[in-house]
Amino acid sequence: MQPTPELPLSLIDHHCASAETLREAQQTLFALLVEREQAFGFNPDVITEYPDPLERLLDDPVAYLDARRRAAESQRAVPFARVAVLTTYADVIGPALRAAGYTEEVIDMPAGPDNTSCYAREARPDGVGTFYLEAVNELDEKIHPTFVVTLKDGQGSLLSGMSGSVWAVGGERYAYVSTVVARQDAPPGSGSRVAAAVWDYLRSEGVSRVNLGTQTADRFYERQGFRTIHRIVPALRYRTAADGRTIWHDLVIMRKDL
């Protein structure tokens, strides 16, 4: 059953809602996203860490990464083949990582956080898997939501939604999509209907390009006209299909031109 006009879409944005209202609406989407992503497993050959405390990474990124990688290797008793870092602190840690032999890939995402780059280095030719560290400033004002689109059922419960932000850079307007989710029992087409409404809204706001990062929904976005522009960690997540097949998903940055 397709969504019907009796299930209207709702849009709130910075023109009509406070920053607090927008954050609360996005947090509702994120809570459902956390629940839905439990259906996806993590590649056992990829170890993911987040720096705690962050200051230790910022003070001496090379030493911190080497220490955390060695600690992870001692726990699993197998060396890593690769080390990868995604960070919004490239202005701070980038020079040291480049000097230590890490390759840098500047993330092309105008409406996303500033100073975002990916760094990678081959660790051991006989190694297995990837040690992946993510250091992202989730409080960056550029990714605070400026719009939220939702679809609810007849009882007012969330079926699907999308949130993100619009930012002007160099005279052009760009968008960053931060959260997209659909309930497992949502009518077919719910997510696509929300997405279509968002693209229409962004065009009306003068947006020429949309970016996002995902580790589980790349195929959905491809159907929406996105293409991968950065592949950060191949085969980071997986899900099991109805026929028992394992379907892998990469951690990627994607782009759609409107």
pLDDT of residue 5: 55
Q: Which of 36, 26, 5 is nearest to 164 (CA)?
A: 26
Nearest to 76 by CA among 149, 129, 150: 129
Please give the domain boundaries of the chain with CATH numbers for all domains: 9-40+140-257 (3.40.630.30), 42-135 (no CATH)
pLDDT computed for residue 3 by the predictor: 47
Which pair of tokens denotes residue 117? 């780059």
pLDDT in tens, the chain (258 residues): 454 456 889 999 999 999 999 999 999 999 999 999 999 999 999 999 999 999 999 999 999 999 999 999 999 999 999 999 999 999 999 999 999 999 999 999 999 999 999 999 999 999 999 999 999 998 899 989 999 999 999 889 999 999 999 999 999 999 999 999 999 999 999 999 999 999 999 999 999 999 999 999 999 999 999 999 999 999 999 999 999 999 999 999 999 999
Residue type, 4: T
Which tokens is 91 given?
Answer: 């202005």
pLDDT of residue 2: 53
Q: In sequence order, what are the residues at sequence separation of 6 or more whose Cβ sits closer than 8 angstroms to the Cβ of residue 59?
A: none
Using CA atoms, how far residue 94 sits from 5, 55, 81, 136, in Å, is 51, 15, 21, 14
